[in-house]
Structure 1
């Protein structure tokens, strides 16, 4: 085999392997760079987290960069009575009815099987992987350049939790949430031990499980989320605690928490179970909407609110139905069930009178699924529908769509032109720069791709661009570019040390860190050799 053909073979092999790093979890060859490779929550329709959760968490990866699809501001004024409404199962309803008629605390008269008994599965607090890696590779002195908050730097309350999340210190936030939950008797070793619940404690759990999802701590996530089941045990409702809430109806758990728990099985490989969970939620939402349309309360009783309130509640629950369907789409994509994903998206598109921007997002999402399946004409038809009111935004979106179409047809030079023109209109867009680098690679301009990515991470926008997907791409390019890639990777580690919190998965740098036991073995061997 000639040297040229050998090189072509190597390049083809490298390109094949490289695809796994440049594909995202959404069904698009080039998609918006997100901070997690999994579908990510916090801005869920119908409920807003009081802890200002990090952007890009479970639920809505295919839409997460399109904020116009999320909850409109007008839903924030909906009364808590409507926001907290939920229809319990028949068994739970009987128990709650019994408590309401006797005004006796439920915990003293019911079996453990009717109680929700969560607890922490993590005995030790999570450490900062970036600091550990910097110490290992660069030495203690380099850690002096690290300027992020730790658990001991913030107040031990919700304000401290908000601060840690805002700085991207999600592991420290998990640690603080554990301390706060221990106050409720729900700390380590307390799974299957009875304890009282409040809206505040459940909000803490929502925060903690969301962060664990973000950090991809799937084993801990599965263990800690399981005790909540589907949030239908009697102690998840206000009526269970008459001494605290009187006869107040509704669920103490937010709709966002309910949606998160339904999705969680997707993150540990049980996508079908997650879809089943979401359809169970949709069935209840359908009952609530039917009750409201028939002049009843959400639970099916006599309505104690006026027609304006009913209309507001109806709009809220229709929005929640749409948001749940979006979650179904993401779960379907995670299981590669593209038929279900497109069917649900078409159902969404045709079921409501969307604002123009929202309809564009849905059409674009459908088009990208068609692209991933190789159906270019169908994708082109969907992309042609997408036209925005903002001329500049329209031009950028059109260029991105044209670029994606070119990529699907292996026309990388044409795709590069589209992404480059779009980038000139929006220079800070990380997705466009990343796509340009990939196109440069596939057109044989590896060095130019490396230079573009390095400029983005070190000069142009280090804070925004130091994301795992970008870093993994860069390290892959380094390995293709030179056999001496380690120093370049260590420079990226220095950037992470200066700018990022503790949430980054250090494995994206593709550096090998020996376990402490291995280090001790090497030290012993060195000592023996010195003798």
Structure 2
């Protein structure tokens, strides 16, 4: 049972605001592309089918007049397809930009992606107009259709690409790619590599409490309990304040109790987190698991059901739903009807990218 993903970023957490373009080129989202604030709002609410509809309308009504606008809308289209798990379609969208055999080392190394190539439109703007999200999606998509090695090659190439640039924005992008790689290796239980990548991230930001916590999570996975305790102690040593930080510390303490199979103490820590923030879905999920491990299956189910009812936008998480359905299977002989009811409710309230198959109905 992990507290959170062990890396600072992954494709699932990709937002388009930073990867789209540099804020130094355009003063606002409205200046970057037509109707972009509306697209960003739909994306933030998980309404990816509506995003695709807007992109399609913009393309057919000639709303897009400048080269960079077409690229921005393509990025939204490809990300929406990715979120909807239409990975083959997303790959076709990305591949339409530049045939791989044209520039095999970097398919986006073409002058048509440069502001400089259109001086009559962009005047003094220089450099690439390609949204960084396109490069991330290009790297991530092969593993979604069964070719993880190609994704790793592209992610490491992208890491080298980000390191060849200067500026704060490129350092953030470097951290994003490092995080995506660390998450990839962690999911495939390549813990030594994940550990090394997280330490690289910490070199960029040594006092980041989230990164220090994730270092501790990986150390727990490999059985380095002393190392994990040291990492968690460094988190507390940052002496930050606020509910988010307090809950991070509380969840770290709870994990230490879990390793020792002290479920009562772990539950106490998670309860304090939930009291501070009822939307802390990690604390809710892990408390429920502790109750189940303590053979209190009824209260475990009540906790998850109650949280889904009270804060559905926060609690509607695939991991939480999978765990709830597993508990139904343990608790009830006729669990199929209960899971069907849950699945129907999810269909009404979930964002477009929610994986409804997690109910196993």
Question: Does TM-score exceed 0.5, indicating one fold?
Answer: yes
TM-score, reference length from structure 1: 0.57
**Residue aligning to 2:286:** 435
**Aligned twin of 2:30:** none
The Cα of 1:392 is off from its aligned counterpart by 5.3
Deviations 1:416-452, CA, capped at 9 Å, x for gaps: 2321232223233122111111111111111111111
Moved more, 444-453 or 325-334: 325-334
User: Aligned pair in 2 of structure 1 residues 505, 315: CA closer, same or farther (>3 Å)?
Assistant: closer
Matched, 1:451 2:302: yes
Could you list the per-position Cα deviations for residues 74-127 of structure 1 after superposition, in whole angstroms to 9, with x for gaps in the alignment?
x84x356xxxxxxxxxxxxxxxxxxxxxxxxxxxxxxxxxxxxxxxxxxxxxxx
Q: Does residue 360 in structure 1 map to residue 237 in structure 2? A: no
Which of 47, 62, 67 matches 1:169? 47
Q: Per the alignment, do residues 332 and 454 of structure 1 end up closer, same or farther by CA in structure 2, a change over 3 Å counting? A: same
> Is the counterpart of residue 287 in structure 1 residue 164 in structure 2?
yes
Please give the root-mean-square deviation of Cα atoms over the aligned residues, in Å: 3.3
Could you say which residue in structure 2 is the equivalent of 1:329?
182
How do 1:252-263 residues align onto structure 2 when only pairs under 5 Å count? 252-263=129-140
CA distance in 2: counterparts of 1:157 and 1:353, whole angstroms: 36
Instruction: Count the aligned residue pairs.
Output: 341
* Deviation for aligned residue 1:159: 6.0
Cα deviation for residue 400 of structure 1 reads: 0.9
The question of whether the paired residues in 2 share the 8 Å contact of 1:402 and 1:415 is answered with yes
Q: Are the equivalent residues in 2 in contact too, given 1:39–1:330 (CA < 8 A)?
A: no
Whether 1:264 aligns to 2:264 is no
1:202 Cα deviation (Å)? 0.9
Name which one, 1 or 2, has greater alpha-carbon Rg.
Answer: 1
Cα distance change of structure 1 residues 502 and 414 upon mapping to structure 2, 3 Å threshold:
same
The aligned counterpart of 1:30 is 2
Counterpart check, 1:212 vs 2:212 = no
Deviation at 1:413, TM superposition (A): 3.4
Structure 1 contact 428–461 (Cα < 8 Å) conserved = yes
Change (3 A) 1:477 1:286: closer
Note the 1:103-502 alignment, pairs <5 A: 158=36, 161-162=39-40, 164-182=42-60, 198-228=67-97, 229=100, 230-245=107-122, 248-289=125-166, 314-350=167-203, 352=204, 356=207, 359-387=208-236, 388-390=239-241, 393-458=244-309, 460-502=310-352
* CA distance in structure 1 between the partners assigned to 2:124 and 2:247 by the alignment: 54
SS in 2 for 1:288: coil
Is residue 12 of structure 2 the alignment partner of residue 40 of structure 1?
Answer: yes
Structure 1 CA distance for aligned equivalents of residues 286 and 68 of structure 2: 44
Contact 1:456-1:462 at 8 Å conserved across structures: yes
Structure 1 270/334 Cα, relative in aligned 2: closer, same or farther at 3 Å?
farther
Identify, as 1 or 2, the structure richer in helix.
2
Q: Distance in 1 between matches of 2:116 and 2:155?
A: 25
Gaps of 5+ in 1: 1-28, 51-74, 81-155, 187-195, 290-313, 512-531
The 2-side partners of 1:285 and 1:166 are apart by: 26
CA distance in 2, matches of 1:265, 1:274: 5
Does the aligned pair in 1 maintain the 2:274–2:280 contact within 8 Å?
yes
**Mapped partners of 2:171, 2:59: distance in 1:** 33
Contact kept in structure 1, 2:20 and 2:132, CA below 8 Å: no
User: 1:215-271: CA deviations, max 9, x gaps?
Assistant: 222222333323345422332223444554457431121223323322333433433
Q: 1:221 to 1:422 in 2, by over 3 A?
A: same
In the alignment, the residues of structure 2 paired with residue 401 and residue 166 of structure 1 have an alpha-carbon distance, to the nearest angstrom, of 29
Conserved in 2, the CA contact under 8 Å of 1:271 and 1:335?
no
For structure 2, the 5+ residue unaligned runs are 27-33, 101-106
CA distance in 2: counterparts of 1:41 and 1:203, whole angstroms: 18
Equivalent-residue separation in structure 2 for 1:318 and 1:503 (angstroms): 29
- What is the CA-CA distance between 1:361 and the residue it aligns to? 1.6
Q: Scaled by the length of structure 2, what TM-score is found?
A: 0.81
Aligned residue in 1 for 2:358: 508
Cα distance in 1 for partners of 2:195, 2:42 equals 38
Contact 2:74 2:93 in 1 (8 A): no
Q: 1:218 to 1:409 in 2, by over 3 A?
A: farther
